[in-house]
Chains A and B, each alone.
Chain A
């Protein structure tokens, strides 16, 4: 059903998006009161505007059953409202700038404490795994949330393939570092490259997936193409994008946001309405498309599946 919805989008609508995506530059120019310049800017940006290719995922996608009854957010919202600082810190920046990312060819290095370290071509990494759709809630640490129909496969399936060693306790993920392709990396907004991590049992959990698509299509670059992590019970920034390395280790990885603001972003970053961000309450969230904020659910509503991972832990201290 979801796949049909995606194919309903006509090509004419995609063309319109070019203008839509360049609106900020027009606003800025107009706001400066330089109407002539504004017209010039609009004309110029329209000429080199990029909209992303939309490619349906070839091959079967299994119905995982996850997220039945949830109403997914619109494709437009999911693909134009992104936190992906590698392409700029405004929500609209990634959709505007991510066209410079080259996702073919793409290699992913899998190493560290594993029996079978490898450097995979993306296709070879994905091929053995059956793709399934997973409709998950995504809760951003900034108090907004969406429902997103991902396409991917359990990370556990890949980890089993590479055989973690007995001393492996954590998995560390790294995003591509390439300032030419990722213009946001030309400034030290974060300590690049972006690094994220999970405890091995979190990584092996059946809810944790590596995603390659959304709405039955391959991921647009701004959503973390060609391969990203999805950990639905943690704040969105844990779900690292455009992964080039997966490393197993015996030490807890130092993540990019932890390094940037250790008092605000911890290693676990489980969605937790009881533990406020130092600067704002996490008790509620705005689901994109709604006005009144919903109460935020502990573990983003996936407590039945994952709460046992944290039995006996003080989650206010281990935020």
Chain B
């Protein structure tokens, strides 16, 4: 088996399956009644933390590739990024249903235009009013253009350079995601702090790299005159 075949037909499917394990486990816990006394909160917390973990892994791939020289890592970037979006979507959906929908009034019954209108208003109000929801939605919404333009067709249409520029939005996702987590906890900031440190290191790596590169590329003084 060639290296190419092995990556395509063995390693990639394995990584894909591994990325689904947290989801599968949630489903299993749901079916066995094992989601604590407050299942909606548990699902919200679990999908939220897994979103952040996948965002962090996505951000880690490039630095890891530079340091290790394993160029093969770039082939997993899109898949893992899309899984971040997948868990982010579940997280957002749980919030919309379990938090916003569940706290509505239903003056005209569940199935009514007013329900939809009130739901949208309630989400919008929450995003506008609660800073940790604001940054959380920034984190989620910033992933949407990345997911939409993740195909080869879009890379071609946009051109590599533009595509890359857009996909730097993932830095914003990371920063907003960590801030969302930090602002949500009541007193114990240990875990948010760990994620924040990782994101700072991963983004700092890029900053140092780009600073070095720009110094390199700057022409010598005498040539500029």
Q: A: which residues have CB within 8 A of B?
A: 20, 23, 27, 30-31, 33, 73-74, 76-77, 80-81, 85, 89, 91-92, 142, 144, 146, 187, 189-190, 257, 260-261, 279-281, 283-284, 286, 288-289, 291-293
Contact = CB atoms under 8 A, between A and B. Distances in A.
Given A31-B25, A33-B18, A189 B187 contact: yes
A113 B34 CA distance: 49
A74 B25 CA distance: 25
Contacts of B116: none
Nearest to A283: B103
A146 B186 CA distance: 20
Interface in B86-114: 98, 102-103
B25 A81 contact: no
Contacts, number: 67
B10 interface: no
Contacts of B29: 23, 27
B150 interface: no
Contacts of B13: none
**5 cross-chain pairs, A with B, having the tightest CB-CB distances, nearest first:** A81-B37, A77-B37, A89-B188, A293-B103, A284-B103
Contact of A279 (B21, B36, B41, B132): B132
A178 to B, nearest CB: 19
B37 A80 contact: yes
B21 A31 contact: yes
Given A27-B25, A279-B130, A91 B38 contact: yes
Contact of B188 (A31, A189, A288): A189
A313 to B, nearest CB: 26
B22 interface: yes
A279 B37 contact: no
A20 B37 CA distance: 12
A81 B187 contact: no
A46 to B, nearest CB: 16
B183 to A, nearest CB: 7
Contacts of B132: 279
B190 interface: yes
Given A30-B21, A279-B132, A81 B190 contact: no
Contacts of A144: 38, 41
